[in-house]
Structure 1
């Protein structure tokens, strides 16, 4: 695998990614992914046997089955942005069956998408790949645009579709975040009562999180705290963007922080910043899946591989990667998903 990686990275960057040793938070302090992760973490929790069964279904499907890692295909950009912007690069995905086919042939653990997509094919695919129903969205058809997450259906409807899990987004830091936290916490309680697992998109959103030309929406300290709140409302997995910088609390001069957050517990290295995100998910007990981000063309594969290496070496649980896969020809999308999965299958790529 490392020989293949050398085709995508300059030697210095690849060495920095693969040979970095994290001294900020030793790996021994984390609960790391592995074949026995379910038993180690959730067996003594309040999760019911039905929830455990659905979590197991998710972690024992696809090419990463039984490793403790997850590769998830998310397709909700047709609502979050617009169907045209999401699917114009590859119009076959206006037909949602192709989304499910991509997840199956790509060897994913699960597919995360909308009520509408899954409702049309529930009987055809619910037994072939675990469904994660995204129950809330931010739609941008309202003018002027607003930034809020609203429910698009019920938890019971997701259960009727045969879902193994529900997914939801909270925009932490937004004016509407208090209502979103309350709504999603209640939805997650209901999902667990029905036997489904829960996954939270822990995004930050506030126009004032951009200051002096720096975007702190992806700061390690802010995203780490968002993950921590996600774990608090009993998400079984948290989804987060990879951190690109740190020091959000101090630069924006709000909240509370401690100097050790930026020295003892993290550095400017991307693996260490990602590890701080993992730490905030109850020291890895609530697994971190990082998002793949938007498609940028020729560099997509390199960026996806870089994200996978950072996530894995930090102690994360996997990637939830969509646009880089479905905004290209079908076979190329399958190949990209499997190349990312190969990072998690490669035993020579170890925890930093």
Structure 2
């Protein structure tokens, strides 16, 4: 009996060995590799839960606008994106009024009527705050809150234990060029609004007397201050707007997020054609985005400083009123 069992066991082992086949090695699928840090931090790697569809509908579906209310980062990302639309419309109008039209007319008095035509569009009571104030504040606040949320997620991802480790990982360890231009631009916008909107409202009760002549008069009074201010203000504004819209379109040139590098992999070592094409596309996008920003900034400065900035001081009672407004600007009135 025992010998029969041993014989059957040997036959089974022989069949098992003979049934094994030698397989050729195959490359590992990149889609199944370990996700990069950016994917883990954003939470995009893990599969989304399947949401139950309602059994009944009202006959139509409301647009989601890309927002998911159950995730704060998605909600804040939507606010940060869609809050840029109204200021962009104002940006285009202001670019035409303060740069393109002065470049065409080559005269400040001839350009003033065009500024007055578009002023009711963005300085009407209530509309100005709807187009500029509220969207800009929402954009800044949502950006700061979103950075804090992602920083906290990064700290949890790395398992920070001490307070120093949490602060190191959660408090903005890496700020992109896009964010830097935004934070640099925020106080400049405040100074611009203080001089052109707040001070005239406090001194004369409105901004009806503020136009291209008012700006030219201020530049003639303090040329060093205003040339430096508008050089920084215009350059940062154009780069932030162009870089932001390039990001919305999928061209991440000025943001911190980059394509995952193939360094260390066999494809990167051998110079895979796909990686070379991706690098070429990245360089092309970089040159295109920065080229558009450079041309836009150059055009704006040519009209603002080249034409308006050289118009000189005003005269008569109008110039006296402008001097009074510039002298009463809080904090920096003595420099103007």
Bucket of the pairwise TM-score, normalised by the shorter protein = under 0.3
Larger radius of gyration: 2
More helix, by proportion: 2
Q: TM-score, normalised by structure 2?
A: 0.23
TM-score norm. by structure 1 comes to: 0.22
User: Of Structure 1 and Structure 2, which has the larger fraction of its residues in strand?
Assistant: 1
